[in-house]
Amino acid sequence: MRLAAGVEYDGSGFFGWQRQRQSPTVQECLETALGRVADHPVTVHCAGRTDTGVHAVCQVVHFDTPAVRNERSWVLGTNTHLHPGISLLWAREVDEEFHARFRANRRHYRYRILNRWVRPAIARGRVAWVRHPLDAGRMHEAARALIGEHDFSSFRAVGCQARSPKRTVHRLDVRRDGHELVIDIEANAFVYHMVRNIAGTLIAIGRGERPVSWAADVLAARDRMVAGVTAPAEGLYFLAPGYPDYPELPTHREVGFPARLSQ
């Protein structure tokens, strides 16, 4: 039997998603907790791996098990054994054709920036902080140039192992909500550090250090050296993947997260 599950986590306490030598990781903790409920070792596959410090509102995973449990037992049992920075949100049986990564047709990320001259305290580790005023209108206008299918080599980290730098961005918006700036981006997939590198470039434009046209120039250069600095990990949230063939799976808008992140 194959199960899909939704997972929420605060990435500030983890060395990213993927199991590795450094510990703890989200995958390691989740597999251990699920294994306690299933009574056998469990391997999970996720929709999109996240780096150290990056958060998730509704990461989707799948795993195979012969264990028969209802959704309440999977959720409550797993959360009993999970690190407090991770929460299993739901679990649903799916067909064997489902794959959390390969059946997703898009991924939705959000980058949050606290834009005030005083550093954050309550939101520390959960937002990026830029003390200098940012012009959200300039950032949004610049972002228009990145929508569509492009070679994103300029926004690709050196360690990226993807075969191709071409990705299709379906949506890229920048808006202000009081002292917070939000960058929403949806794409079929992302190259390594793509969202954080785009955010760093847009921040430079928002501060007036670069013209609005610079985003298009950076994209055309296909050279990481000409783009802005990589924005901090703590501002980045993986909201959810999209599964057009599985509309019954809950989305980030249905998991009860605070409105500012779920809209």
CA dihedral sign, ordered 100, 18, 224, 261: positive
Q: What pLDDT does residue 262 have? A: 44
Distance, CA of 119 to CA of 190 (rounded, Å): 30
Q: Rounded mean pLDDT of 93-122? A: 96
Q: Rounded mean pLDDT of 203-218? A: 96
pLDDT band at 22 (very low <50, low <70, confident <90, very high): confident
Q: Rounded mean pLDDT of 41-61? A: 95
Average pLDDT, rounded, for the chain: 93
Convert the pLDDT of each residue in 117-134 to its tens digit: 999 999 999 999 999 999
Closest CA to 223 of 153, 146, 157: 153
DSSP state at residue 247: T
Convert the pLDDT of each residue in 108-167 to its tens digit: 999 999 999 999 999 999 999 999 999 999 999 999 999 999 999 999 987 776 788 999
Enter the tokens of residue 44.
């999970």
Q: Rounded mean pLDDT of 1-5? A: 96
Question: Which residues are catalytically annotated?
Answer: 51
Q: What pLDDT does residue 36 have? A: 96
The structure tokens 């050296």 sit at 225
Query: What is this structure's pTM?
Result: 0.94
Domains of the chain: 2-100 (3.30.70.580), 106-237 (3.30.70.660)
Distance, CA of 55 to CA of 236 (rounded, Å): 6
